[in-house]
Amino acid sequence: MGLLLNIAIVVITIYYILSKKRVYIRRVPGLDAIEEAVGRAAEMGKPVVCSFGIGTFNYWTMAGLAILSHVARLSARAGTRIIVPTGGSTASMIVRPVAEEIVRTAFLMEGKSEYFNPDDLPFMSDQQYAYTGGYIGILQRARPAAVIMTGSHASEAMNIAETSNAIGAITITSGSYISNVAALACASDYILIGEEAPAASAYLSDDPALRSSIRCQDIFKWISIALLVLGLITYNAGSDFFIRLLSS
């Protein structure tokens, strides 16, 4: 059953790619606001601070890197300095070289490679709260016009968001942990909730393969919900057909 569903999803993805139909994805205010935030920084002559989290390569870190790539290209295009605080854990150390290459490539693609400065990706510490202190120090000294904090952040996220709010920066965050969402919503101008951050690479891209992957995930979810509901109904009616079907 699972194999058939996966085959169906692959077929649907290929269909969208070949037909070149643009897959509709609902508007995400937090992602739409990124361009506004970078533009504001350019107008004010202030930098943008963008971080991708403190974790290793995982679901949220990949989302943070996708957003970092977009922010870096916008910053290069606008001639705005971008600062990317890195660190926060030993696991994050393997992500840093990738982040540096992403920012370097973004400047290169915009024809501004000479403006790329590796010192603008400072490594704070491999300890969470030493990283937090360094991050807050950057915010207080550089006084950025925009702070975009995505990826896998934990309890330090609230300290950073509060400081960003206090210095008057446009603050865009993502709640990678459900316990952070309420607090970040209070301190941020925009917050990405749930799958809004992981969907960023598809949302910000015109690549039909990426956008169709979002549609396929939605279809898979609806199929899963339908099977679950049908399974509950038939089980309560005395039939275990769907349970046997799904376990086969």
Measured between alpha carbons, how far is 62 from 214 in angstroms, rounded to an integer? 15
**In this structure, are residues 54 and 160 in contact, taking their beta carbons and an 8 Å threshold?**
no
pLDDT category at 20 given cuts 50, 70, 90 is low
Query: Residue 59: is its pLDDT beyond 70?
Result: yes
Residue 137 CA to residue 160 CA, distance in Å, equals: 10
E-only strand ranges, the chain: 48-53, 82-83, 146-152, 170-174, 190-192
- Residue 17's pLDDT is what? 67
User: In the predicted model, is pLDDT for residue 248 greater than 80?
Assistant: no
The pLDDT value recorded for residue 23 is: 72
**Higher-confidence residue: 120 or 223?**
120
Q: Quick one: tokens of 220? A: 């898979």
**What DSSP string runs through 94-105?**
GTHHHHHHHHHH
Domain ranges in the chain are 2-22+208-247, 29-203
CA distances from 248 to 228, 238, 240, 242, 243 (A): 15, 19, 12, 10, 9
Q: Give the model confidence (pLDDT) of 181-237 as tens digits.
A: 888 888 999 999 877 887 887 788 777 777 777 777 787 788 888 888 888 888 888
Distance CA 89, CA 35 (A): 29
Strand 190-192 relative to strand 146-152: parallel, antiparallel, unpaired? Answer: unpaired
Q: CATH class for domain 29-203?
A: alpha beta
Sheet architecture: strand order including 82-83:
82-83, 48-53, 146-152, 170-174, 190-192
Residue 34: the pLDDT is 93
- In this predicted structure, what is the pLDDT of residue 246? 67
> CA-to-CA distance for 169 and 139, rounded, in angstroms?
9
Specify the higher pLDDT residue, 237 or 127. 127
Dump pLDDT digits (tens) for 166-177: 999 999 998 777
**Mean of pLDDT over the chain:** 87
